[in-house]
Amino acid sequence: MAKPDLMERVVNLSKRRGLVFPSSEIYGGFRSTWDYGPVGVLLKRNVKDAWWRTMVQLRDDVVGLDAAILMHPRVWEASGHVQAFTDPLVDCRNCKERFRADHLPESGACPNCGAKGSFTEARRFNLMFETHVGPVEDDASVAYLRPETAQGIFVNFLNVQTTSRKKPPFGIAQIGKAFRNEITPGNFIFRTREFEVMEMEYFVPPEDGPRWYEYWCQERLRWFMDLGIPEDELRLRPHDPDELSHYSTGTSDIEFAYPWGWGELEGVANRTDYDLRRHSEYSGQDLSYYDQDADRRYIPHVIEPALGADRCMLAFLLAAYHEEEVRGEKRTLLRLDPRLAPVAVAVLPLSRNERLNPVAHEVADLLRPRFMIDLDDAGSIGRRYRRQDEVGTPRCVTVDFDTLDDRAVTVRDRDSMSQDRVPIDKLVQHLEEQLSA
Ligand code: ATP
């Protein structure tokens, strides 16, 4: 499939099957904002759960946090965001459109109207959304919507470290909404002004920073592959020195082969001691760590893997989307890893029938506490299989007339379409074996 078509197909499928809708659609939509529908919300939760499981649950050196979106305005002065969280902005003098200067095509032509040499000088544009807290809109009431969750972690470093009694190397993980007034949002849920980010700040002794930076680059790359993104659609790209953020000595992007070319999926940054040092200075609180064993005090260095949940979901969708021909007919399917699939098991009575329905409900009730299920009895069985394939449901369980006699059901595999006959009293165990990693 030509790659630009792939994007269009994934966007269409997302709308048609209840994954992602344009936000405020009945009012004509609202500038690159999107809403997650009944199927999309399940996929996104599974993406976040898979991340949390790997980053927190399966490790004994990482704990979680859920900090507020609104923070003391001094946080963003200390972090450098008020001064330096900017993108270079240019206007096209011909069509008046605005662009990020670092995203312009090499030809120098305006991507909107094609005019050459029409751009103004670049100006710095701060990406933070500003708001006012309380009824008076003066300078004293200014607050920002957080552009990253990391600062909530840094300002809680002491709270978390002392209550969890963790010692470096250890990490604090957080998932939450972030806001950036992007100059050019777009490409569906790839770049939006409101998004969810999954970040982990890993605190290490200063001399160990480079080693842990390498470690996290490899760990994160492995995570995507483990969840089904092919190796040749991923690559690690170290930033050039002039690309580095104001706080970083080393950053690598984990890039994905999007339909429009290679682009950032996740960033892994060595933030050094920048954030803790600055917050120590600005707050007057000592955020250093005393290492009893070595009898020395230091400000930990920080390695940060940061990944957008929405962007990550897009990458999984693009990698999973397949079309194939089955007996002369086109079949569309999402080959999602079962850990990510929105619905794990569909329960399908062969036809709408008053003898089959009670058994289908009985099977559904049996499975519901263990799996996300969808009980669907509308339309022909072939059509229902295709609907489930389209949202990536790994197994379909069909209740047919033989079930009434033999108390067994047919379990159909999404990818191979092979079918097994399984007794109802062995069904939970059978599915658990098949769907666990
Ligand atoms: P870019 O250079 O593309 O603007 P960035 O380098 O500023 O991105 P980071 O600050 O490293 O991005 O953000 C960490 C991760 O958060 C990104 O790798 C991406 O997955 C996600 N992300 C960042 N900005 C957005 C956005 N506007 N919409 C959706 N996801 C985003």
Atom 18 (ligand 1): residue with closest C-alpha?
266
Ligand 1 atom closest to the Cα of residue 254 is: 18
Cβ 197 under 6 angstroms from ligand 1? yes
Ligand 1 atom closest to the Cα of residue 266 is: 18
Atom 15 (ligand 1): residue with closest C-alpha?
307
In the predicted structure, residue 1 carries a pLDDT above the cut 80 = no
Cβ 311 under 6 angstroms from ligand 1? yes
CA gap 106, 260 in Å, rounded: 16
Mutate to test the pocket of ligand 1, among 195, 251, 256, 318 (most ligand atoms within 8 A of CB): 195
Ligand 1 atom closest to the Cα of residue 87 is: 4
Model's pTM, two decimal places? 0.95
Q: For every residue of 176-237, which 3-state class applies, written as one string?
A: EEEECCCCCCECCCCECCEEEEEEEEEEECHHHHHHHHHHHHHHHHHHHHHCCCCHHHEEEE
Atom 26 (ligand 1): residue with closest C-alpha?
191
Ligand 1 atom closest to the Cα of residue 191 is: 28
* Amino acid of residue 182: E
pLDDT score recorded for residue 3 = 72
pLDDT (tens digit, 9 = 90+) per residue, 177-219? 999 999 989 999 999 999 999 999 999 999 999 999 999 999 9
3-state secondary structure (DSSP) of residue 283: helix
Q: Which residues pair with 253 in a beta bridge?
A: 237, 267
| Ligand 1 centre distance from Cα of residue 344 (Å) | 30
pLDDT (tens digit, 9 = 90+) per residue, 114-131? 999 899 999 999 999 999
C-alpha distances out from residue 110 to 73, 98, 114, Å: 37, 10, 5
CB 119 within 8 A of CB 92: yes
| Ligand 1 centre distance from Cα of residue 264 (Å) | 7
pLDDT score recorded for residue 2 = 66
Cβ 306 under 6 angstroms from ligand 1? yes
Provide mean pLDDT across the span 332-354.
97
